[in-house]
């Protein structure tokens, strides 16, 4: 459908809580397609609707080597354990941090056909679900940092052949 701009911190929409979707209609399908297109264009693992300025509880997730998933009104219903993970965000470009996420989560949502979906996830999928559902609640991964020193700038790689040196 469309690749939309991704709002970046400190934009206020990232701190607002998204509203539940009450009915499935063409506008929800369009938002779902736009989320997937925007996420894929940015080469992200996940994207929440408020990151593109839409305060509806819709997320898209795409793990490597898998098809994209769209979840409507997702919520974590159970979780267990703790593990440290390195996390980054399309709305906080150029930075990453070490935070604590669950070892596994159980979530429920609706899919694009309005079917009830139950998910038990671990690893990257569990992390992505927690990250994107946090977005829907106005929470950024930086809020989980124990110390601000753990937020580190990602150094961009460059090819030395492309750098001109003056003699």
Active-site residue, 132 included: yes
- Residue 99 has phi, psi (to 5 degrees) of -135, 175
Other C-beta atoms closer than 10 Å to the C-beta of 49 total 26
Tell me how far apart the alpha carbons of residues 158 and 129 are, in angstroms, rounded to a whole number.
32
SS3 152: strand
Q: Which two tokens stand for residue 107?
A: 């979530």
Q: Which residues sit opposite 72 in a β-bridge?
A: 58, 110
Q: Which of 80, 82, 132, 161 is catalytic?
A: 132
Residues with a catalytic annotation lie at 132
């Amino acid at each position: 459908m469309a690749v939309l701009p991704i709002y970046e911190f400190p934009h206020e929409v990232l701190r607002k809580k998204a509203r539940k979707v009450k009915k499935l209609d063409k506008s929800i399908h369009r938002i779902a397609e736009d989320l997937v297109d925007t996420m894929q264009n940015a080469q992200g693992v996940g994207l929440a609707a408020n990151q593109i300025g839409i305060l509806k509880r819709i997320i898209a997730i795409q793990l490597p080597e898998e098809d994209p998933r769209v979840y409507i009104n997702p919520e974590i219903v159970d979780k267990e354990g703790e593990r440290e993970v390195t996390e980054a965000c399309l709305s906080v470009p150029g930075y990453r941090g070490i935070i604590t996420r669950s070892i596994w989560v159980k979530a429920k949502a609706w899919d694009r056909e309005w079917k009830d979906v139950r998910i038990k996830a671990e690893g990257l999928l569990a992390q992505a679900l927690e990250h994107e559902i946090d977005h829907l609640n106005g929470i950024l991964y930086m809020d989980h940092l124990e110390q601000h020193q753990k937020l580190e700038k990602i150094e961009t790689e460059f090819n030395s052949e492309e750098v001109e040196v003056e003699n």
